[in-house]
Amino acid sequence: MTNHTASPIPMVDLTAQYPLIRAEIEKGLHAALDDAKFILGPNVQAFEKASAEYLGVAHAVGCASGTDALHLALRAAGVGPGDEVITTPFSFIATAEAICYVGATPKFVDIDPATFNIDPAAVAEAITDRTRAIMPVHLFGQPADLPALSKLADKHNLTLVEDCAQSFGASIDQQMTGSIGALGAFSFFPSKNLGGYGDGGLVTTNDDVLATELNVLRNHGSRERYHHQCIGLNSRLDELQAVILQAKLPHIDSFNDGRRRVAHHYTAALSELPGFTPPYEDGIGRHVYHQYTVLCDEPEQRHEVMDRLKAADIASAVYYPIPLHQQEAFAHTHPPTLPIAESIAKRCFSLPMYPELSLTDADRVIAAIAHSVRA
């Protein structure tokens, strides 16, 4: 029965964060509008500098979206037709889409059953003379095993491109995700840990040559106005989005701490319930919980729990119901059967997760799940 006395609990509540930074955002937007420098203006430059400092990289290049960030990273690295890029099947389509954009072929390998991130042992077995790059995803904010993947990349002279769309602020041994591989690609989609109020992206690198190439590629292949050395993209971070991201960046550690607070509260309770496996918390690095994703023992249990949550006006979602290697769009890659990714896709679901979620509301979520177990 639906609880009509309590407010619905969404997957993410973007309205909860805005009042905390409203004054700074509005001040910055008004100044930008008065300045009227809207394309690669001072706010984009300031945000690129500040984010590079935060992430511990030499260069941060803003672009129009997280998908473009992946595309630009691969282009800058010289990945193209005839090449293979090893990646995970358990991610949003943008990860593999970007590989296809440059004419390369995504080569999907299975994932670790605990972290859901790409399995380095599977990567090692998949490397061929056509492999040009490895693209791990820091899924749901948990860092992938970059130490192992970096060793493989170095051994086989491959480019390591980090998909950091869900991991802004995550780290491994004090190194931020996006600073360890040759290139990192970030998304500022509104629901991300660091999100704008529209699309936006960022590519990071410590390589001066790659940074120069990224700046050329995002701006129509031009080093000098009206002189075009190659076919590039129109993919520039919007000046007004940069204002918003600048206002949010100083708060990102606090935002991520808020996510961890909720996550640890969930885990403490759900660990006691039969049939559920909370997110793995002993992985490599510092998790930032873009999503809090639970694993059920059986697929039928997921449906029962999600139905119970819906009846209690509590949102839940499945990320991702169909692994990429099973998507029609990638049938041409002739992907293998990947049993771990396929099994997890049938049994995982995600709970409401945002920094401002109260523990009282988290307890409502927990109670609804516990009720489904007792029912």
pLDDT at 76 over 80: yes
Averaged over 48-71, what is the pLDDT? Answer: 98
Q: What is the pLDDT of residue 148?
A: 98
Instruction: Return left, alpha or beta for 36; rule: phi > 0 is left, psi -120 to 50 is alpha, else beta.
Output: left
Q: Using CA atoms, how far apart are residues 125 and 145, in angstroms rounded to an integer?
A: 16
Instruction: Provide the total of helices (H) and of strands (E) in the chain, helices listed first.
Output: 12, 14
Q: Which residues of the chain does CATH 3.40.640.10 include?
A: 18-250
Q: Using CA atoms, how far apart are residues 163 and 189, in angstroms rounded to an integer?
A: 14
Instruction: Return left, alpha or beta for 6; rule: phi > 0 is left, psi -120 to 50 is alpha, else beta.
Output: beta
Q: Using CA atoms, how far apart are residues 342 and 25, in angstroms rounded to an integer?
A: 43
- State both tokens at 234: 């129109």
pLDDT at 124 over 60: yes
Architecture of domain 18-250: 3-Layer(aba) Sandwich (3.40)
pLDDT digit string, tens, across residues 243-257: 999 999 999 999 999
Averaged over 299-319, what is the pLDDT? Answer: 97
Q: Where does the pLDDT of residue 5 fall: very low under 50, low under 70, confident under 90, or very high at 90 and above?
A: low
Question: What Rg value do the Cα atoms of the chain yield, rounded?
Answer: 21
Q: Which residues of the chain does CATH 3.90.1150.10 include?
A: 251-374
Mean of the per-residue pLDDT values of the chain: 96
Q: Where does the pLDDT of residue 103 fall: very low under 50, low under 70, confident under 90, or very high at 90 and above?
A: very high
Q: What is the pLDDT of residue 2?
A: 47
Helix, strand or coil, per DSSP, at residue 286: strand
pLDDT digit string, tens, across residues 133-142: 999 999 999 9
Averaged over 271-283, what is the pLDDT? Answer: 90
Q: Using CA atoms, how far apart are residues 112 and 280, in angstroms rounded to an integer?
A: 11
Q: Using CA atoms, how far apart are residues 121 and 112, in angstroms rounded to an integer?
A: 9
pLDDT at 283 over 90: no
Architecture of domain 251-374: Alpha-Beta Complex (3.90)
> 226: how many CB neighbours lie within 10 A of its CB?
6
Q: Where does the pLDDT of residue 311 fall: very low under 50, low under 70, confident under 90, or very high at 90 and above?
A: very high
pLDDT at 74 over 70: yes
Q: Using CA atoms, how far apart are residues 257 and 238, in angstroms rounded to an integer?
A: 28
Q: In percent, how much of the chain has pLDDT > 70? A: 98
Beta strands in the chain (DSSP E): 59-63, 84-87, 105-108, 131-135, 159-163, 171-172, 175-176, 183-187, 201-205, 222-224, 227-228, 276-277, 292-296, 348-351
pLDDT at 358 over 70: yes
